[in-house]
Amino acid sequence: MGGALGTFYSEWSVAATGCGPPDLADSLERGCYLVVLMITGLSVFWRNRFSQSVASSLEAQGLRPSTIMQMPAAEWLAGVAAAALALALQLGNGAGI
Instruction: Report CA dihedral (75, 39, 77, 83) to the nearest 10 degrees.
Output: -120
Question: Pick from 29, 38, 15: which is nearest to 87 by CA?
Answer: 15
Tens digits of per-residue pLDDT, 21-78?
Answer: 888 788 888 888 888 888 878 877 877 777 777 667 766 677 677 766 776 777 667 6
pLDDT value of position 93: 76
Cα angle 83, 84, 86 (rounded to 5 degrees) comes to 65
Give 81's pLDDT tier (boundaries 50, 70, 90).
low
pLDDT value of position 21: 84
pLDDT value of position 97: 58
Q: What is the DSSP string of 9-62?
A: HHHHHHHHHSS--TTS-HHHHHHHHHHHHHHHHHHHHHHHHHSS-HHHHHHHTT
**Residue range 82-93: mean pLDDT, rounded:** 75
